[in-house]
Structure 1
Amino acid sequence: MAAVPCAGHDSRLNTLLQMTSPAPLYPHRHLLGIEGLSHLDIEALLDRADTYVALSRQVEKKTATLRGRTQINLFFEPSTRTQASFELAGKRLGADVMNMSVASSSVKKGETLIDTAATLNAMRPDILVVRHHAAGAVNLLARKVDCSVVNAGDGAHEHPTQALLDALTIRRNKGRIAGLTVAICGDILHSRVARSNIILLNALGAKVRLIAPSTLLPAGIERMGVTVFTDMKKGLEGADIVMMLRLQLERMHGAFVPSPKEYFRYFGLDREKLDAAQPNALVMHPGPMNRGVEISSEVADGAQSLIREQVEMGVAVRMAVLDALAQHLPNG
């Protein structure tokens, strides 16, 4: 459904929204992962998100796309950026947005995920945005409710909107994704961001490299169409985009790295290591950052960093996703 500007909206943005060719119909009722999306699905979402970047930079940022609709954000894991981004996206589209606190919910009293799904379904929401610590949990919940479901991250499985916002950030800064060399560095083993980005970047024609110590690489990861390096400088040679990932200590059971200091020495991105990449290479990080562990402050805050821009693109991408799912709502 195309976004409808509110009354009194800036005339230039009205023209932009009216003249932009509508994105092809998004054929899916849910967004559960990048896997299963076609090249056209991805491009349609990115094109629509571009429009919402323009909207979000106006004084009046709201539309009526989801007016009268209810969006529930259900996060079983702590989140600052993603939850706030989805909340803002829903509100800018005119939805009634409710954030459910799992810490004070029946889940903490022993309620199963299926019972939680049944309870939420009885409230008749239009869209559920779900983050869960278990891979596959969001897919299970989507089969138990009547509304549209967005995966906001499930275990080490997928984080589709993060991959989409990363792609939008790259495309807006490089003008394309096809043919670029993207190096993803860090804790690949525990990262849903890495998995979703690998799938999306391959689908759009990028060359994907993974850089990590062998203890943080999944077995057989090469089958996903990536080139693997355990030497950071070699892996960064000629890279157009350097995407850093944090050490996910909360998912680690055992010693995967000797120490944070030792990890930074070999796999932390500092100015010296970044010099191995292309001179105009751009640096990304999904956040939260661990400065001095996977990235130096000099690089994170430097001229080549897109980290703050990624946050802005996140709101636009999530607006585009919610807009796309609105096509499948009754009378949508």
Structure 2
Amino acid sequence: MRHFISVDQLTEKDIYSMLQKAESYRSQKVKDMTSKLFTANLFFEPSTRTKMSFIVAQRKMGFEALDFHEDTSSVRKGESLYDTAKTFEAIGANLLVVRHPDDNWYEALEGKISIPMINAGAGKAEHPTQCMLDLLTIYQEYGRIEGLKIVIVGDIKHSRVAHSNAKALARLGVEVYLCAAPGFEDPELEFPYISIDEAVEICDVVMLLRIQHERHVQKNETNNYLDLYGLTKEREKKMKEKAIILHPAPINRGVEIDTDLVECRRSRIFKQMENGVYVRMAIMSHVLNEWGIMNENFIEKRQKVSSY
């Protein structure tokens, strides 16, 4: 795997191997794993969790994180994604982390960039690193993924998280359900749709999504959304005893979830954020090792040294 663009690239063995690697990073203090490696974080859309967790992951691994702000870059002068990426490659970046509103941004760079790339979010199409941290959070909770019933609830049509997660979960033996308000369904995802009231009673994981207003042609009214389609306190009481709540954030409190449930006993929302750091460390390690930029044996040696 020379670039990490989609979870579809991974075999089941790859997925579980990466989750185990992330867990090993979470349980150990990792410092100065290598030096003089530069990572460029090219975010062309707003981000808090993904961007900051990548930066924390990079610093834990001893990398120099090269920050990028579209508003103050030459993109404002009309520079293309390709020329921006080639610029960072030319000045010495060893890895590109890219978020872009184009569903297929990778195609503009494929075969033209000679350093590894990681997809940090592609329009409505893919969010593979979020998918991996969600898988880790579920695995930590249940010790397995296969055989679970999981529902993805919300703005399915405009969510890159829904697209990445639904496909990956199905590959891993999950019984996947979707739940969406009228107009938020996506016919490309061929999974059964059920009501939120049915979902909370039968599913082991309720995975909520926000309404992505920035991707809508017309702004939709949300005044009654929580009562009709969201996770209310009444619905939470009907969930299975050990069922958990996930949300990729940012959260629209009082819209897709009652604000009192964001940090309730079932919520693993902030655990997801914590796991994001270690999953992204594992992904960067895997990709760089594939390119021969970072030797896996050297990584493990540095981990052991730093754990004393």
Structure 2 length normalisation: TM-score? 0.92
Structure 1 SS opposite 2:27: helix
Question: Which residue of 2 is the match for residue 62 of structure 1?
Answer: 31
1:264 corresponds to which of 215, 226, 243: 226
Where does residue 139 of structure 2 map in the other structure?
Answer: 171
2:240 is the alignment partner of 1:278: yes
1:219 is matched with which residue?
187
Conserved? CA contact 1:238–1:276, under 8 Å:
no
In 1, distance between residues paired with 2:236 and 2:293? 51
CA distance in 1, matches of 2:192, 2:188: 11
- Alpha-carbon distance, 1:139 to partner: 4.1
Cα offset, 1:330, TM superposition: 4.1
Three-state SS of the structure 2 residue aligned to 1:242 is: strand
Matches within 5 A, 1:126-205: 126-205=94-173
Partner residue of 1:235 out of 182, 187, 199: 199
8 Å contact from structure 2 (residues 163, 189) kept in 1: no
CA distance in structure 1 between the partners assigned to 2:271 and 2:128 by the alignment:
18
**Deviation for aligned residue 1:142:** 4.2
Q: Where in structure 2 are the equivalents of 1:1-332 lying within 5 Å?
A: 28-55=1-28, 60-64=29-33, 66-222=34-190, 226-229=191-194, 231-255=195-219, 257=220, 259-332=221-294
* Unpaired runs of at least 5, structure 1: 1-27
- Paired with 2:293 and 2:153, the residues of 1 have a C-alpha distance of 44
The alignment-based identity, stated in percent, is 38
1:259-292, Cα deviation, whole Å (9 max, x unpaired): 2121111111112122333122100110100000
Q: CA deviation at 1:141?
A: 2.5
Per-residue deviation, 1:68: 2.0
- Counterpart amino acid of 1:36? Q
SS state of the match for residue 183, structure 2? helix
* Number of aligned positions between the proteins: 294
Change (3 A) 1:145 1:236: same
Letter in 2 for 1:242: V
Distance 1:131 1:236, change over 3 A: same
Conserved? CA contact 1:45–1:317, under 8 Å: yes
- Local SS of the residue matching 1:253: coil
* Counterpart secondary structure, 2:251: coil
Provide the secondary structure at the position in 2 that maps to 1:100. Answer: coil
What is the CA–CA distance in structure 2 between the aligned matches of 1:75 and 1:276, rounded to whole Å?
40
Partner residue in 1 for 2:303: none
Q: Answer whether contact 1:132 1:138 (CA < 8 A) is retained.
A: no
- Alpha-carbon distance in 2 for matches of 1:74, 1:220: 29
CA distance, structure 2, for counterparts of residue 309 and residue 134 of structure 1: 29
2:234 partner SS: helix
Q: TM-score normalised to the size of structure 1?
A: 0.85
SS of 1:261's partner is coil
